[in-house]
Structure 1
């Protein structure tokens, strides 16, 4: 498998999924589709906020991951093995951390909106 094909089928797939999540966010709290953590599922207001933040972050970092993967595929002389997967892992982890931080900054532990 060529390096470009590998990057497009890993990092490109994550970017495609992030576009779908961004364009079609979940409407109601469910256990199938969306950003599902106990804090995000406390009420509908937190659910909507968490999914909006996560979907935006995932779209940004999945795009960066795809561009970096294509850069690696184009400019490295060695075969790509684990590098695109590390970019995917980092994209998801950074999106989760940023979403949880945004939830903590905007909502109390009881699920109420913090006053600024």
Structure 2
């Protein structure tokens, strides 16, 4: 498979999903769509904050992932195998960690906003 096609079908799809999440965030707490962790689903205020934070970081890091994958595809002398998928996983993990840190910094375990 062509390296550019591989990057577009992995990192490009991730970026497309992040744009969809950013443009159409979930309005109400649900179990199907959005950033769904037990802390994020405690109340509507946390849900809105968590989804906004996750969507912004996910969009940024999936964009970096796409650009990094395209650079790898452009400069690689051999066919890419696992490298774009590592960028996908890093984008997801970093977005989740940053969102959880923001939740812990801004909300208590009981779901109240910290002062």
**Fold match, TM over 0.5?**
yes
Residue 108 of structure 1 corresponds to 108
Residue segments in structure 1 that go unaligned for 5+ positions in a row: none
Residue 92 of structure 1 corresponds to 92
Shift of 1:102: 0.1
Residue 69 of structure 1 corresponds to 69
**Do structure 1's residue 7 and structure 2's residue 7 form an aligned pair?**
yes
Residue 22 of structure 1 corresponds to 22
Which string of whole-angstrom CA distances, capped at 9 and with x for unpartnered residues, describes residues 49-100 of structure 1? 0000000000000000000000000001011000000000000000000000
The alignment of Structure 1 onto Structure 2 pairs a total of residues equal to: 115
State the distance in 2 between where 1:51 and 1:81 align: 32
Shift of 1:44: 0.2
RMSD of aligned alpha carbons:
0.3
State the distance in 2 between where 1:26 and 1:113 align: 21
Residue segments in structure 2 that go unaligned for 5+ positions in a row: none
- SS of the residue corresponding to residue 59 of structure 1 reads helix
What TM-score, normalized to structure 1?
0.99
State the distance in 1 between where 2:71 and 2:87 align: 12
Residue 82 of structure 1 corresponds to 82
State the distance in 2 between where 1:111 and 1:65 align: 33
